[in-house]
A and B are shown apart, each in its own frame.
Chain A
Amino acid sequence: KQEVTQIPAALSVPEGENLVLNCSFTDSAIYNLQWFRQDPGKGLTSLLLIQSSQREQTSGRLNASLDKSSGRSTLYIAASQPGDSATYLCAVLQGGSEKLVFGKGMKLTVNP
């Protein structure tokens, strides 16, 4: 059974730091991996989608990488801002499945 882990569960940093958020998964036979952002009381917003054949995706200050063989993905946030404060979740889609498996998320606080 696929398991997705995000460690640490929470992170508090000063504004301006470059951040690395980690996501690990137990079964490397994935089809894709997505990173999401969730603001308090809101739904999830997709940030980046990486297909299994890709190594990384970039959007603005965000860069996500994928290493299937080691079961890891990282989300890099450059020059963090207070507006980046949110919970970040990763999710993997198993090959041949319609079901995303989510990590429990990491709560990020960026202090001014």
Chain B
Amino acid sequence: NAGVTQTPKFQVLKTGQSMTLQCAQDMNHEYMSWYRQDPGMGLRLIHYSVGAGITDQGEVPNGYNVSRSTTEDFPLRLLSAAPSQTSVYFCASSYGRVNTGELFFGEGSRLTVL
């Protein structure tokens, strides 16, 4: 089982560029989410989804878009990157809704915006 797979692992962008961080899971999990992890700030929820076609905002959604067209995939889009979006991004999934069980994390995507 691959679990939660994130690509790319590392990315450098210039201010104003756009990109998509990919997240895929092969566990048939309904719940998927994106977090960013910054030194001294801990993990903060960006967006989440409780099933295909359903997404909602987390704590820090500004500057990010998501969609959920399939159960397996939950991409995170940065439309116009800013230096404040330099961070490590984690995708996580859970069977059913998040309050039914443990959360499985990907290995992370380290993004630097110059």
Count how many pairs of residues, one from A and one from B, have CB atoms less than 8 Å apart in the complex.
Answer: 56
> A86–B7 Cα gap in the complex (Å)?
24
Does A65 sit within 8 A of B, measured CB to CB?
Answer: no
B107 adjacent to A43 (CB under 8 Å): yes
- Selected from A32, A34, A45, A99, the residue in CB contact (under 8 A) with B59 is A99
- Which A residues are in CB contact (< 8 Å) with B42? 89, 102-105
- Selected from B4, B48, B105, B106, the residue in CB contact (under 8 A) with A99 is B48
Specify the chain A residue showing the minimal Cβ separation from B102. Answer: A46
- Which B residues are in CB contact (< 8 Å) with A102? 42-44
> A43–B4 Cα gap in the complex (Å)?
10
> A105–B59 Cα gap in the complex (Å)?
18
Specify the chain B residue showing the minimal Cβ separation from A32. Answer: B99
B58 adjacent to A44 (CB under 8 Å): no
Specify the chain A residue showing the minimal Cβ separation from B103. Answer: A46
- Selected from A31, A34, A89, A103, the residue in CB contact (under 8 A) with B102 is A34
- Which A residues are in CB contact (< 8 Å) with B56? 98
Does B64 sit within 8 A of A, measured CB to CB?
Answer: no
Contacts A98-B31, A98-B48, A104-B42 known; A43 to B105 CB distance under 8 Å?
yes
New A-B pairs, 14, CB < 8 Å, besides A98-B97, A99-B48: A34-B103, A43-B4, A43-B107, A44-B43, A44-B92, A49-B102, A89-B42, A89-B43, A91-B43, A93-B99, A99-B45, A100-B45, A100-B98, A105-B42
